[in-house]
């Protein structure tokens, strides 16, 4: 998993911290699982175009693979 790892010099110990890092670094919004109960998960809205979804996923994938 990603939690507990360093991403661009920032440690994501919780899904809330991971959501903040993703927003700050690649400008993709995510809602931490804690907002809905279980921690360790992220939620994303898919109420946008397919192209925007693919772009957002690509940004997150690139960030997490660095």
Residue 39 has pLDDT above 90, yes or no: no
Would you list the DSSP string of 1-66? Answer: --TTEEETTEEE-SHHHHHHHHHHHH----EEGGGTS-SS-EE----S-HHHHHHHHHHHHHHHH-
Please, what are the domains in the chain?
5-65 (3.90.1150.10)
Percent of the chain with pLDDT over 70: 100
> What is this structure's pTM?
0.91
Range with the lowest mean pLDDT among 11-15, 25-29, 32-36, 53-57? 32-36
């Amino acid at each position: 998993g990603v939690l507990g790892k360093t991403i661009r010099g920032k440690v994501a110990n919780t899904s809330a911290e991971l959501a903040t890092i993703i927003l700050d670094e690649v400008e993709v919004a995510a809602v931490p699982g804690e907002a809905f109960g279980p921690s360790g998960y992220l939620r994303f809205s898919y109420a946008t175009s397919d192209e925007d979804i693919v772009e957002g996923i690509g940004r997150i994938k690139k960030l997490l693979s660095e």
